[in-house]
Chains A and B, each alone.
Chain A
Amino acid sequence: MTQLRTRIDELIKTEPVTLFMKGTPQLIMCGNSERALRALREAGAPVTAVDIMPDPQIRQELSALSGWPTIPQVFVGGELIGGADIVQELAETGELEQKLLESLGEGYRGRAVEKTVTV
């Protein structure tokens, strides 16, 4: 594994909810990243955002790791949940909240902190 891939892998496994996106929650650069972030926020998820745009290697290593070709990508408890379409669909059916509850435990909404990290 490259150093970058190891770093991404560690992040996915240690952060409760990781969103790989184009831009940051403060400056979103893509409509799909915006849809995913909105769905996560509405479900009260503690989002750890990673901007993939500073270095093309980030996207390459991430997709090699996840086997998922597009951005955004959302991970909960180390598991790939999907891209914007799936996260939005799960949010609409209530399954996203259910998954967050199972992974993070009761009262996760009150503890939700949004942050942006670099890899």
Chain B
Amino acid sequence: MSAATSLRVLLEQAFPDAPVLEVVDRTGGGDHFQVTVTHPRLAGLTLVDQHRLVYDALSGPLGDGTIHELRIRTRGTG
């Protein structure tokens, strides 16, 4: 499984049935990612708290060095 696919699996677990869920390997090197998530779980939260939920979902690959750089864009729905 590519790193991008494993990130997507983790995000799908944290944000099930997300209207928008994208993982882009920015450099093709499998360690610089852009993730975009829109999900009701994010609604009403500050951007800091929205990003914290993404960091929580990706704590594994963030902790083990799989992710060298992560860009995040989040939105609540509704």
- A contacts, CB < 8 Å to B: 32, 67-70, 80-86, 89-90
- The answer to whether A69 touches B72 (Cβ under 8 A) is no
**Chain B's nearest CB lies how many Å from the CB of A47?**
19
- B contacts, CB < 8 Å to A: 47-48, 51-52, 55, 59, 62, 69-73
- The answer to whether B47 touches A86 (Cβ under 8 A) is yes
> Among the listed A67, A89, A90, which residue makes an inter-chain contact with B52, where contact means beta carbons less than 8 Å apart?
A67
Contacts of B48 in A (CB 8 A): 80-82, 86
- The answer to whether B69 touches A69 (Cβ under 8 A) is no
How far is B47's CA from A104's CA once the two chains are assembled, in angstroms?
Answer: 21
Contacts of B73 in A (CB 8 A): 85, 89
Contacts of A69 in B (CB 8 A): 55, 59, 62
* Interchain Cβ contacts under 8 Å between A and B, 27 examples: A32-B69, A32-B71, A67-B52, A68-B52, A68-B55, A69-B55, A69-B59, A69-B62, A70-B55, A70-B62, A70-B70, A80-B48, A82-B47, A82-B48, A82-B51, A83-B51, A84-B71, A85-B51, A85-B71, A85-B72, A85-B73, A86-B47, A86-B48, A86-B51, A89-B47, A89-B73, A90-B47
